[in-house]
A and B are shown apart, each in its own frame.
Chain A
């Protein structure tokens, strides 16, 4: 049933509705909801009709329900009454208290009005009285004010009239600040009335101010004043509208000029001695004088910078530039200096001086970042030094080697090559060691902060320097020997530069020197570098060390070999010119009977002697000497040339030729081949033997190009027989020499129309005759 399930929220709703209906009666809202529906809930609505309600109730519920409803209704009515009463009481309390409050307020205010009226009266009277006083005093006051103004004006005028005197006093007492203040205070008046009323004053004060300005300028320029005073002077000058900028520019110019005094001069650098850090070297006073003078001037410079920083606060950029210029100029001078020959100690002391200056100025001018700047520039200087040291070493070695060319006439010619070789060996080895020692000094200096930072770079540079140095040494050797035609396609380089101007002795010296470098110098240097210059390089491990001894050794080994070959070639060329002339000039077909041994053998032997002498001076001796064979005579016993013996006049030419050929082939099968073209070694014997062999081969080839008659053939036989003994003495490989000489005779016989050799007795007689003549 709808009415039974109302309990709690129904009560609350009722309360709310009661309150709202009491305070804001709005029947329309509440009645609209349930007006249509006639339910039992209509009891709460405004459109409550008791009859209708009762009818409904009777209809809907039974007797028990009705009775229950009745009881409930009574209870509710009671509740409602109590609630109503409560509400009323509450509100009633409030109303009562409000009324009490109003009563009290009223009682308070009752007396207020009268008080206010009294106050008003009193004030009115006061006002009227003060008005009276004011009016009576008004005229007097005006008068006083006028006088006051006049007085002020007069004071000002007085001030202006006194201004020159006052300025003068200020000038005398040197209180320029006051003077400036006075003047600037008077400036407006001068501007306004300067031309009309105050001309004299203005002029006088302007004179005075000019004097002030002059004094202030003087103060600014003078170095003896304190920095504060000069700063003040600058500020005052600015207040006087004086163009301080020009002053600043002038001062900075002066400073720049004084830079010239501060700079290191090259002459000073030369005289900078090896100065240890402790200054207790009295003996070196004369040398250290230029150094300390320099130091003093640098200190002055630093002080000046500090002063100017304070005086001209915005001149920092220019000062920084000046300081950097100074350091840069120092280092440029150093760079120039290291191009000459100096030692590392000298360089170190110079760097020390520069570093000291840098530190001095860094105190004053931090923003210039002078240490870093100087570090960069010092890197360049040190690198230059290293490079120039190497180029000087190269120069030294070249000079030592070139001594071969200059032979003083009174000296014994024999030993000049040897002397040159020794000198150049020494130059290379000693020079490199000295250079290394020098560089080690650079590294060992721990005091100089500049150098310590550069240590890694120095190590790298030294290693790279040696690597490049040896490469350029190799190229220099190539150039000196005239063999650099492969490197330059310069059309100006004529072929004449090959062998005309270059002495063969020089080439041999260079060859031996290359081998010496490869075998001795490089290992020594590698040791030294490993001892002092290893580790700590800047190059990463991927790049490997900068100085690779293996590569250099290989370069010099191949260079030595090439130079040796070149020497051989040069000598052989000379001899083959001689031989060519010998064989192409005479008419061999119509040659006369051989009377004597031809003189070309003398020239030939002479050349061989020269070669032997040169080789002896420069190259070492070989290992073992082959023991001699017994001498053979003109018609040889070697089976190769046997056919000569067997030629019978009876056989025809072709038959003879054929049998010869067959026999030579057969002989070759059983005979061991004689090696003619062997590799040349770095020994005296090897070089001489190789040259002899090549010349004999050329001789054979020349012979093959000619055609001989019998006398021509016999002449050849005679010459060769004569050469046999001396050649076997000079050369080492006797079997080859014999073979070659026999080959020449065979070639001549094959080219001869009528190869009948000389009889041995005649041969011997002619040879003895020649030997007798040459003695």
Chain B
């Protein structure tokens, strides 16, 4: 018995796999067998997006907890959790070229650009309790707040990997380039 299916995403690495977001879980279906292959039980996932560079990496946006990065091979605990937005995180999308660059749109009228490490080993070393003298790696690169209302739509350009477009509720479309941020980093 399926609950509300609210969204889905094709796996770019496997033609036969598709992910579907339900009320309280993400389900993975295999189209050859037409059966559910896997599922992640978590809170309300609003949007899921596969990482186009690395296999088995999925990025999800959730209402309350922000952004989770999952490794589908170890699907109990997310690899990394990013704070997301002050309110709900509505959409999340991975940059097709640059590994680890994630854009997220939220109902707090901002679009955030994150740099996340998508492998488990990176995560462990960066989270080891170090003295605060060394700067903790801040995943938030930039926050775009040109919007007046919630941002609901987000997409990377397929031609230029540094350009993205975002759509907010009041009809405003903002096209931005993240090159200046990257050069600063």
B127 proximity list for chain A (CB < 8 A)? 486-487
B88 closest partner in A (C-beta):
A701
Chain A minimum-CB-distance residue to B128:
A487
Residues on B with beta carbons closer than 8 Å to the beta carbon of A485: 77, 81
Q: Which residues of A contact B170 (CB under 8 A)?
A: 661, 664-665
A677 touches B171 (CB 8 A): no
B107 touches A551 (CB 8 A): no
Do A697 and B131 have beta carbons less than 8 Å apart?
no
A678 CB → nearest B CB, Å: 9
- B81 in contact with A486 (CB, 8 Å): yes
For the complex, is A676 an interface residue (Cβ under 8 Å from B)?
yes
Report if B36 contacts A (CB, 8 A): no
Name which residue of chain B comes closest to A661, CB basis: B171
In the assembled complex, the Cα of A572 lies from the Cα of B76 at a distance in Å of 25
Taking the closest CB of chain A, its distance from the CB of B50, in whole angstroms, is 22
Instruction: Give chain A nearest CB distance to B70 CB in angstroms.
Output: 13
Bitwise, A678-706 to B at CB < 8 A (1) or not (0) is: 00000000000000001001100100100
Is the beta-carbon distance between B81 and A673 smaller than 8 angstroms?
A: no
Q: Does B93 sit within 8 A of A, measured CB to CB?
A: no
**CB within 8 Å for A495 and B133 given contacts A576-B64, A697-B87, A698-B88:** no
Contact B108 A551 (CB under 8 A): no
Cβ contacts under 8 Å, A661 to chain B:
170-171
The dominant DSSP class at the B interface is: loop
Complex-state Cα separation, A291 to B42, whole angstroms = 64
Q: Is B122 an interface residue (CB 8 A)?
A: no
Contact B133 A694 (CB under 8 A): no
Q: Are the CB atoms of A551 and B132 closer together than 8 Å?
A: yes
CA distance A704 to B107 in the complex (A): 12
- Count of A-B residue pairs with CB < 8 Å: 49
Within 8 Å of chain A (Cβ to Cβ): is B63? yes
Convert B43-75 into 0s and 1s, putting 1 for each residue whose CB lies closer than 8 angstroms to a CB of A. 100000000000000000001100000000010
Docked CA distance A576–B150 (Å): 17
Contact at B42–A495, with CB atoms within 8 Å? yes
Assess whether A701 is in contact with B131, with CB atoms less than 8 Å apart. no
Q: B-facing mask of A546-584, CB < 8 A → 1, else 0? A: 000001001100000000000001001100100000000
Specify the chain A residue showing the minimal Cβ separation from B149. Answer: A743
Please tell me which one of the listed residues B77, B107, B169 contacts residue A491 in the complex, with CB atoms under 8 A apart: B77
Given A664-B170, A701-B107 in contact, is the A677-B86 Cβ separation under 8 Å?
A: yes
Residue of B nearest to A690 (CB): B86
Our pick among B74, B81, B107 for the contact of A697 (Cβ within 8 Å) is: B107
Please, what's the 1-or-0 string for B88-115, where 1 marks a CB less than 8 Å from any CB in chain A?
A: 1000000000000000000111000000
Q: In the complex, what distance in Å separates the CA atom of A704 from the CA atom of B151?
A: 13
| A668 contacts chain B at the CB level, 8 A cutoff | yes
Interface residue? A489 (CB, 8 A): yes
| A676-B108 contact given A487-B127, A551-B133, A694-B87, CB 8 Å threshold | yes
Docked Cα-Cα span, A697 to B110, in Å, equals 14
CB distance from B163 to the nearest CB of A (A): 26
Who on chain A is nearest to B66 by CB?
A569
Name the residue among B63, B87, B133 with the largest chain A CB count within 10 angstroms.
B87
- The answer to whether A573 touches B87, judged by C-beta atoms less than 8 angstroms apart, is no
Known contacts A554-B132, A576-B63; is A701 also within 8 Å of B148 by CB?
Answer: no
User: Contact: A569 with B87, CB < 8 Å?
Assistant: no
Tell me if A698 and B132 are in contact (CB < 8 A). no
Cα A576 to Cα B44 in complex, Å, equals 12
Which residues does chain A contribute within 8 Å of B43, judged by CB atoms? 495
Residues of B10-32 whose CB lies within 8 A of A: none
Q: Collect the chain B residues with CB atoms within 8 Å of residue A698's CB.
A: 87-88
Query: Which residue in A486, A487, A573, A701 is a CB contact (below 8 Å) of B64?
Result: A573
Pick from B63, B108, B132, B169: contact of A677, CB below 8 A. Answer: B108
What is the CA–CA distance of A704 and B152 in the complex, to the nearest angstrom?
Answer: 11
Q: Which residues of B contact A664 (CB under 8 A)?
A: 170
Q: Which residue of B lies closest to A552 (CB)?
A: B132
0/1 per residue, A475-499, Cβ < 8 Å to B? 0000000000111010101010000
The residue in chain B whose Cβ has the minimal distance to the Cβ of A694 is B87
Decide yes or no: A491 and B76 within 8 Å by CB, A486-B127, A554-B132 being known contacts. yes
Asked if A551 and B64 make an inter-chain contact with CB atoms under 8 angstroms apart, the answer reads no
Report chain B residues within 8 Å CB of A486: 81, 127
User: Once the chains are docked, how many angstroms separate the CA of A698 from the CA of B88?
Assistant: 8
Q: Which chain A residue lies CB-closest to B85?
A: A677
Task: Tell me the smallest distance from the CB of A194 to a CB of chain B, in Å.
Answer: 84
Most buried by B among A487, A491, A576, A677: A677
Question: Taking the nearest CB of chain B, how far is it from the CB of A275, in angstroms?
Answer: 43
- CB atoms of B133 and A489 under 8 A apart: no
Nearest residue in A to B133 (C-beta to C-beta)? Answer: A551
A576 cross-chain contacts in B, Cβ below 8 A: 63-64
Q: A551-B132, A576-B63, A661-B171 are in contact. Are A701 and B77 (CB under 8 A)?
A: no
Residue-wise, chain A 614-648 has the 8 Å CB interface mask toward B (1 for contact) of 00000000000000000000000000000000000
- Nearest B-chain residue to A747, judged by Cβ: B169
- B64 & A673 in contact (Cβ 8 Å cutoff): no
A545 to chain B, nearest CB (A): 14
Once the chains are docked, how many angstroms separate the CA of A468 from the CA of B133? Answer: 15
Task: Compute how far the CA of A420 lies from the CA of B148 in the bound complex, rounded to whole angstroms.
Answer: 43
Interface string of B133-167 (1 = CB under 8 A from A): 10000000000000010100000000000000000
Closest to A494 in B: B76
B74: chain A residues within 8 A (beta carbon): 491
Q: A487-B127, A677-B108 are in contact. List 14 more A-B contacts (CB 8 A).
A: A485-B77, A485-B81, A487-B129, A491-B74, A569-B64, A573-B64, A664-B170, A665-B170, A677-B86, A694-B87, A697-B107, A698-B87, A698-B88, A701-B88
7 contacts between A and B (CB under 8 A): A485-B81, A491-B74, A551-B131, A661-B171, A676-B108, A677-B109, A704-B169
Interface pairs A-B: 8 shortest CB-CB: A677-B86, A491-B76, A677-B108, A573-B64, A697-B87, A701-B107, A551-B132, A554-B132
